[in-house]
Amino acid sequence: MSWFANASTDGDDEADSASEVAPSPVFESAANLSDRDLVEPTEASYLPDDPLTWELSETQFSSARGARPTRRLSGPLPDTEAGPPQLSSAPARQRRRRWLPVGTFLLGLLSGVLALWLVALLFLGPDHSPLPSPSPASGESDLVLQLSPAYLTALVTRNLPRAGLPGQVSQVRVTLQPRDLIEVTGQETLTLFGLALTRPFFLRVQPVIVTCHLQVHVLHADLGGLSVTGLAAMFEEHLNQQLSQQPAPAGLPAGFHYCAVATWTTTNGLWISYSAQPTALAPRPRGREDAGLARNRWLQELEPDPGSASALADLPSSSGFSASARRPQ
């Protein structure tokens, strides 16, 4: 037992001595290790895109493996507190949205009022009052013309389409009333998208004289049962323009300037009174005037024949002309 114990004890002592004698492992000093061995490689996508603004630098002392490099700004950061604080535009948008329905309602109300006022002005306006018509004074009327209802019907039928009516006029009838009133009835056919629409129309007009021409003043206008007296101003202007372009009545003697001075109506027709002013005669050419003077001087030098003078005096007048001879002095 003592031998076994001594042997084991000797073995332990040898092991301990061997462990003490064995050299320790050699480690590289920290001075031989580079920083690249301690830092993990950085991916290319992690690097900044703008090398002029950003500058990549590594720390000199890495405390642990796996530490990431830091970025250093080349310039100072902007001073965000220097300017006034920027307010959000959300409250302003909310205020605009709040007033938008109110503004839309007011705009619609104003448009409706204007539309009603326009309809009332054009279609619900009162009839026009008649204009004062002067009666022909004595001494101003030199010629009086009568226009029959048939002639007036043809005249109105020709001038109504030119007066601004969009459709075709047919079945026109002119009725003359006392106190300077003329009533015109008829049918107007308007074609829209291939459909023919026929509407009756009625006009009550007053004949007047303006600047030596016959004109009309619309008192009432009715189209399809709807009063359109408010729209009669345009129709009246076009119709008067057509009447002012009418020439003087044909068949009157030439050499006079005829001017209409008065008009009135009866159940038989329209009467127009004219004044006639003679126009100035054209001057005689100077060559002819000299020839006439020479001829008169030559006749004065001749001896008159009493027999020829008495013969001229005995000639009867023909065609409304009379001839007489006078003995020269």
pLDDT at 135: 67
Q: How far apart are CA 240 and CA 182, in angstroms?
A: 15
Residue 34, C-beta contacts closer than 8 angstroms, at least 6 positions apart:
none
Average pLDDT of the residues of the chain: 68
Arithmetic mean of pLDDT, 133-159: 80
pLDDT band at 318 (very low <50, low <70, confident <90, very high): very low
Q: Does residue 66 sit within a domain?
A: no
pLDDT at 130: 77
Q: The pTM is what?
A: 0.49
pLDDT band at 101 (very low <50, low <70, confident <90, very high): confident
pLDDT digits (tens, 9 = 90+) for 124-138: 666 677 777 766 665
User: What's the total number of domains in the chain?
Assistant: 1
**Residue 236: which domain range?**
143-278
Sheet with 256-265, edge to edge strand ranges: 143-147, 270-278, 256-265
For residue 234, pLDDT over 60 is answered with yes
Q: Does residue 93 sit within a domain?
A: no
pLDDT at 322: 37
What percentage of the chain carries pLDDT values higher than 70?
Answer: 50
Q: Does residue 175 sit within a domain?
A: yes
Q: Checking DSSP bridges between strand 70-73 and strand 143-147, what pairing results, if any?
A: unpaired
Q: Does residue 189 sit within a domain?
A: yes
Q: Does residue 38 sit within a domain?
A: no
pLDDT at 51: 52
Nearest to 181 by CA among 273, 298, 263, 73: 263
Tell me which range, 66-80, 84-98, 223-237, is most confidently predicted by mean pLDDT.
223-237
pLDDT digits (tens, 9 = 90+) for 163-195: 667 778 889 999 998 878 899 999 988 887 878
For residue 105, pLDDT over 50 is answered with yes
The CATH number covering residue 257 comes to 3.15.10
Q: Does residue 117 sit within a domain?
A: no
pLDDT at 86: 57
Q: How far apart are CA 64 and CA 55, in angstroms?
A: 23
Q: Does residue 113 sit within a domain?
A: no
Q: Does residue 242 sit within a domain?
A: yes
pLDDT digits (tens, 9 = 90+) for 73-91: 666 666 655 555 555 566 6
Q: Rounded to 5 degrees, what are φ and ψ at 223? A: -130, 115
